[in-house]
Amino acid sequence: MPLPRLIPCLDVARGRVVKGVHFAGLRVVGDPVELAAVYSDSGADELVFLDVTATLEERGTLVELVRRVAERVAIPFTVGGGVRTVADATRLLEAGADKVSVNSAALERPGLLTDLAERLGSQAVVVAIDAAGGAVRSRAGTSGTGRTAVEWSREAVERGAGEILLTSIDADGTRAGYDLELTAAVVDAVPVPVIASGGAGNAEHVAEALEVAQAALLASIVHEDPHGLGGLRERLRGYGVRLRDAA
Partner 1 sequence: MKVAVCDYGAGNVRSVVLAFERLGAEVGVTAEPENVAGAELAVLPGVGSAGSAMARLEETGLDEALRKRAGPTLGICLGLHLALEESEEDGGVEGLGLVPGRAVRIRDGRVPRIGWAEVDPGGEAYWFAHSFAAETPAAVSTSEGLVAEARSGAFTGIQFHPEKSGATGARWLERCLSRA
Task: Closer to partner 1 by CB, 13 or 50: give it.
Answer: 50
Q: What type of residue sits at position 56?
A: L
CB of 49 to partner 1, least distance (A): 15
CB of 180 to partner 1, least distance (A): 18
Catalytic site positions: 11, 130
Residues contributing to the site for partner 1 (CB under 8 A): 1-5, 40, 45, 67, 70-71, 74-76, 93-96, 98-99, 118-124, 162-163, 191-193, 214-215, 244-247
CB of 244 to partner 1, least distance (A): 4
Give the residue from 237, 184, 173 showing the smallest Cα distance to 207: 237
CB of 128 to partner 1, least distance (A): 15
CB of 88 to partner 1, least distance (A): 15
Task: Closer to partner 1 by CB, 52 or 190: give it.
Answer: 190
Task: Closer to partner 1 by CB, 63 or 135: give it.
Answer: 63
Task: Closer to partner 1 by CB, 117 or 135: give it.
Answer: 117
HEC states along the chain? CCCCEEEEEEEEECCEEECCECCECCCEEECHHHHHHHHHHCCCCCEEEEECCHHHHCCCCCHHHHHHHHHHCCCCEEEECCCCCHHHHHHHHHCCCCEEEECHHHHHCCHHHHHHHHHHCHHHEEEEEEEECCEEEECCCCEEEEEEHHHHHHHHHHHCCCEEEEEECCCCCCCCCCCHHHHHHHHHHCCCCEEEECCCCCHHHHHHHHHHCCEEEECHHHHCCHHHHHHHHHHHHHCCCCCCCCC
Distances (CA, A) of 77 to 70, 73, 135: 9, 9, 27
Task: Closer to partner 1 by CB, 77 or 178: give it.
Answer: 77
